[in-house]
Amino acid sequence: MRKLIDETERGAPPRSVDHTSGMRSDHRLRPATPGDEPFLTRMLGHAANWREGMSNPIKLHYVEGFGRPGDIGVIAEVAGDPAGAAWCRLLTGSDRGYGYVADDVPELTIAVEPDHRGRGLATALIEALKSVVAEAGYRAVSLSVEPDNPARRIYERAGFVRCGTEGGSWTMIADL
């Protein structure tokens, strides 16, 4: 991810390949910062309410105070506007999240704005985040997904495997 960020900071056009269709997709990836917390909160709402008509409350512990030690995130921008985000944090003890696996495995959250879905942004975000998480020294990253969520196939292509079930959702993990 550092290479992608360096290229866009030097003015090179942001380019990548949409891994789902093979088509080129112009976007820029950058690290998430504490100032992105409102956008991450909106993305958390999309992640929690992925199905049309859903109205699940969001669990702010996934984003509140973003930027604390161990928080890692990536923002995708299209035409200079945030279009998606993937981030993770360690949630332990009574603060465990839905995708909890172990105290030393951060939990990933990801969402893409509806108008930007189907362009490979989720794949780009996941791969970039996995790279940064590995560079930070973590051995794996986990997530929670409902089995009928179409994003599950993206996670499986990114190397996530089912390792448990919690309340009808799958817990998945990807070794780094």
Torsion angle of alpha carbons 52, 74, 88, 120, nearest 10°? 40
CATH of domain 2-175: 3.40.630.30
Domain residues of the chain, as ranges? 2-175
Q: How far is CA 21 from CA 14, 18, 120, 152, in A?
A: 18, 6, 8, 17
Digit-by-digit pLDDT tens for the chain (176 residues) are 444 444 344 344 444 444 444 444 588 999 999 999 999 999 998 898 887 776 766 778 789 999 999 999 999 999 999 999 999 999 988 888 888 999 999 999 999 999 999 999 999 999 999 999 999 999 999 999 999 999 999 999 999 999 999 888 999 999 99
Residue 141 CB contacts under 8 Å (≥ 6 apart), including other chains: 88, 105, 106, 107, 108, 129, 130, 133, 173, 174, 176
